[in-house]
Amino acid sequence: MQQASLPILKDLVLIGGGHSHAIALNLFGRNPLPGVRLTLITESSDTPYSGMLPGHIAGFYSHAECHINLQRLAEFAQADLVTDRAIALDLQNNKVICANHPPISFDLLSINIGSTPAILSVPGASEYVTPVKPVRKFLADWEQLVAAVTRNPQQPISLGIVGGGAGGVEVAMAMRSHLHQILKNAQMPVGVTACDKSLARQNESSVQIHLFHRDAEIMPHYNRWVRRHIKKILTKQGINLHLEETVCEVYPHMVKCESGLNVECNPIFWVTEASAPSWLQDAGLATDSKGFVLVRETLQSVSHPQVFAAGDIATIVNHPRPKAGVFAVRQGKPLKRNLQQALLEKPLKSYRPQKNYLSLIGTGDGCAIASWGVFGCQSSLLWGWKDRIDRQFMNQFSDLPVKSEY
């Protein structure tokens, strides 16, 4: 018998289908809150899992393997899906303003929209570079390059990556790995000869990768052993590392640095420090000096109790952490719990992000480096371990229980 549906008592709106919201939606799907209407506003119907993104660039994972299907997840959580971009907030009247839909009202709002690389201040960057986020556009440009190299492997390529944090370094190694594989395949389909091998090596050297970083050392959030070891790997892989080089201008085929160094590069990928959109601050939300939403240990905004934020876009007062997917993932469960507590008008619970966290960095060659506090090591076994952890994480979204009729 069809049950009469409960009246909607509260509207919970989620902006962005980042890691924390994906986990919260999964939990809401397994344990729905009666009388609560859930709405997910997301600019795309799937979202990448950051842990597998470099592996996807390297050609190890398909698009489906490393993307969470938000449409299916929203269905599972019985959430309304609005495929649009939030562009403003009206916090007096509790409405989200979207680019293409009428304003969406909420009683409680949660924001998990990630961050984007800061590029605005560098002349030419907004016209001529591809930022790593939004990931959809980045992957489209990357796939275009892969197709061009596959079609014409003899064509020399000089590729630029700006930003030597963990993201930029992983992207550099992953891109190198994929491009070299294409060139190898192009030369050695069957019956490899010595002559073919030397041609293949010649071809490989036709791909130049330039990595620009403004500081003397790459990967500032990692320990000395990891930084040194990765630097050695980059050098061994033939990646041109330009340290203490601040990119100050970008032309269609060239990167110009403050030191006077000019390097021909096309395409240019931008993987610099994370930044936040201005509409959060414009709405009156309290933010840190970089525009990230300031939240308490409960993930509730310090200025607006009806707003929560998690992942890259949030900065927890007294517990600032690097912008990394590992924190966005960890915040999924406490975020869901506190959204539920707030909807039920019950006390919120505190969450403290861990100080030390395990980082597994793929080197694009079937190995990974583990970093934990001041420790680090490298092994191909670590890549296998990372692969299992990442696939297990993704399984929770592909193995959604089938729901019976309500």
Q: Which is nearer to ligand FAD, 113 or 183 (CB)?
A: 113
* Nearer of residues 56 and 242 to ligand FAD, judged by Cβ: 56
CB of 169 to ligand FAD, least distance (A): 9
C-beta of 34: minimal distance to ligand FAD in Å?
27
Our CB check for ligand FAD shows the closer of 54 and 124 to be 54
Q: How far is the CB of 229 from ligand FAD (least distance, A)?
A: 17
User: Taking the complex as a whole, how short is the minimal distance between the CB of residue 6 and ligand FAD, in angstroms?
Assistant: 28
CB of 397 to ligand FAD, least distance (A): 13
Judged by beta carbon, residue 23 or residue 342, the one nearer ligand FAD is 23
Distance in Å, CB of 16 to ligand FAD, minimum: 3
Contacts 24+ apart (CB under 8 A), 223-226: 223/371, 223/373, 223/374, 223/375, 223/376, 224/374, 225/374, 225/375, 225/376, 226/361, 226/369, 226/371, 226/376
Looking up tokens 């000019």, which residue turns up? 262
Q: Pick between residue 112 and residue 158 the one whose CB is nearest to ligand FAD.
A: 112
Q: Choose among 295, 289, 368: nearest CA to 327.
A: 295
Residue whose CB is less far from ligand FAD, 18 or 291: 18
Nearer to ligand FAD, 9 or 64 (CB): 64
Q: Could you tell me the smallest distance in angstroms from the CB atom of residue 155 to ligand FAD?
A: 25
Toward ligand FAD, which CB reaches closer, 200 or 276? 276
Q: Give the footprint of ligand FAD on this chain (CB under 6 A).
A: 15-20, 41-44, 47, 50-51, 53-54, 85-86, 112-114, 132, 134, 167, 170-171, 271, 311-313, 323-326, 328
Nearest approach, Cβ of residue 362 and ligand FAD (Å):
8
